[in-house]
Structure 1
Amino acid sequence: VQDELHLSFVEVWTGSKKAKGTTPCESLNARFQRVCRKIILANRAFGGLQAEAKALRQSYRRASRDFAHFSDTAAREFHVE
């Protein structure tokens, strides 16, 4: 992202890739807004991954408790120690 902003600044400053009828500041601002949107989308995706990881941890805990209960029940049922 930092490289993309730097490249944007250089392009705007030198006049390359300049849209007709826009000032250098407008061009840089538009590019900056696009980069910010990418950052926001990446942040949302990371938040979704964190929520998914939390759900997986909770599922693992439940499965561990269920397995422990099953083991205890099976041991009592078959008189295994």
Structure 2
Amino acid sequence: MLTAPAGLRSASCGLRRRLRAGSGPGCRVRRAEGPGPRGAALEAVEAVFDSAVQLASLVVAVAGWRSTRPRAARVHIERAGVRVCV
């Protein structure tokens, strides 16, 4: 059987007494502060970045949509040496 050193045994007994008494280890929690005002420069950067991301998403969506559409066939009409593509 293993025996614990005297210091460890006394610390263990002390912690048990505290837990039984309800004064166990705890932590204090502070309420988080609400969001504060940001600078105008940061707001402008965020607006530009958000707009650029949305524009890129729109371009990708339109390109994807166009790739699913069939291409119209070209018709070539030639008469008297004049060629017209319709």
TM-score category of the 2 structures, normalised to the smaller one: 0.3 to 0.5
Which is bigger in relative contact order (C-alpha 8 A, separation at least 6)? Answer: 1
TM-score by length of 2: 0.38
Specify which structure has the higher proportion of helix. Answer: 1
Largest Rg, 1 or 2 = 2
Specify which structure has the higher proportion of strand. Answer: 2
